[in-house]
Amino acid sequence: MMVDLEFIWQGNSLRDWSTALGLALSINLFVGVLKWLIEHRLAKVARTSHRKMDDVIVAMARYTKQLLVFGVTLLAGTRYLDLPVGIDHVLIKVATIAGFLQLGLWLSGALNFWIEHYRRQSMSRDLAAATSLAAISFVGRVLLWTFLVLFMLDNLGVNVTAMVAGLGVGGIAVALAMQNILGDLFASLSIVIDKPFVIGDVITVDSFTGSVEHVGLKTTRLRSSTGEQIIISNSDLLKTRIRNFKRMTERRMLFNFGVVYETSPALLAAIPALLRDIVATVPQARFERAHFKAFGSSALEFEVVYWMTNPDFQLSMDAQQQVNLALLERLQEAGIELSHSAAALAPGALKPVSR
């Protein structure tokens, strides 16, 4: 069956329509081949090159959508045709929408690359900056697409001014309906700006302790010492008191013990000096005080305080063990008996202090 290429449809012959479609597909094919070359050839060069622009181009190429490109090339291929006004307007609108969407994807690809690039660098230098980049990435994408959509609608002939005013009124209603979500969002921004903690810090929130893994737009995730993940909403997080152990410069060690009532006053008076000598032998420890604190119900109670100049928890517990063992040995040598009812050595709370 022969097709009459001179048949006129919508004011143009089928030959002209075929030529226009072929031109649009050829341009689209050229863009597809260029995308493939960038993703496979330039990507290899970018891995060995120190030029970040090569990586940016590769990242943008991966966000190229051939269907959107075809929406633009179809308009380019039909420019020489004598088209009816209705079809011409449809093609212009399709090309405008496709062009702005593709531009948005390219800019998003570039933005994501730079955010990820700085995030990787920040993780090794400045964890606070790495925390901030999550919020910057979200805000950047929102602003990018907001402006692109507004420009696109303006080019499509939509009254953007009236729409912005309408969105303002609608935004108030949405804000009232989403108070909790927006509260978490603003709390996330407060965490990013004020930096009470950053990724990698060990914090205590109420009765939960863990290392900060992720600060999101709605929640913050901690990894506890027992392995489970603790998820806390950002607004709840800022309403409570947070203890940040990562920012300790020294760790205060306090413990109590008791000796039997039969101990003579002379031996009791010698115990603080004995403890001072013991703590002096512990690396990175600084003695503060040791006192005969109280007459307990079944023991004479002592309280001991010293500081670890290195706040590492493992190091502090090693030091406490060394002090405990040395104290047992020295008390036995002096003939001083520990009170069994006082549970012998009773480590107290480890109280962190930042200086």
Domains and CATH numbers, the chain: 8-125 (no CATH), 158-245 (2.30.30.60), 248-353 (3.30.70.100)
pLDDT tier, 153 (very low <50, low <70, confident <90, very high otherwise): confident
Q: What is the pLDDT of residue 344?
A: 41
Structure confidence by residue, pLDDT tens digits, 136-151:
777 788 888 888 888 8
Q: What global pTM score does this model have?
A: 0.51
**What is 160-192 written as a DSSP string?**
HHHHHHHHHHHHHHHHHHTHHHHHHHHHHHHHH
pLDDT in tens, 288-312: 999 999 999 889 999 999 999 998 8
User: What's the confidence (pLDDT) of residue 348?
Assistant: 45
For residues 21 and 133, give the distance between their C-alpha atoms in angstroms, rounded to a whole number: 45
* 98 or 346: which leads in pLDDT: 98
DSSP class of residue 337 equals: P
Please report, for residues 77, 79, 101, 300, 310, the alpha-carbon distance to residue 87 in angstroms, rounded to integers and kept in the order given: 14, 12, 21, 99, 76
